[in-house]
Amino acid sequence: MFGGIGLYSGDQFFGIVAFDRLWFKVDDGNRGEYLARGMDAFKPFPDRPTTMSYFEVPPDLLDDSEELRVWAMRSVAIARRAKQKLPRKQPRKKSSAR
């Protein structure tokens, strides 16, 4: 994915390792924690303004495995909720064209 590695917990995609950094999924419930620590949103293409709902994990958390686990589990829960909100695909109707 974008030249990076996707992180999963079961089938929940919750993080990215790209550009030598770790990024976790965010929503309105935890985005402020990242912003308060000066972290930026993931930009898959540096030459484009597009960002994704993943923020860089504060570097000091990489040395605190327990706190890193807490932040990761929040992102897993966010990924789970986001997946539940996705609309289910409706089966295609068969065409009756002759």
Q: Averaged in consecutive runs of 10 residues, what is the pLDDT profile of the chain (98 residues)?
A: 81 92 95 95 78 91 96 95 68 57
pTM of the model: 0.78
What six digits make up the tokens of 52?
């994704």
Assigned CATH topology for domain 5-80: Yope Regulator; Chain: A, (3.30.1460)
pLDDT of residue 86: 60
Other Cβ atoms within 10 Å of 33 Cβ, number: 14
pLDDT of residue 50: 66
Domain map (residue ranges) of the chain: 5-80
CA distances, 36 to each of 30, 62, 84 (Å): 10, 17, 28
pLDDT of residue 85: 67
pLDDT of residue 35: 96
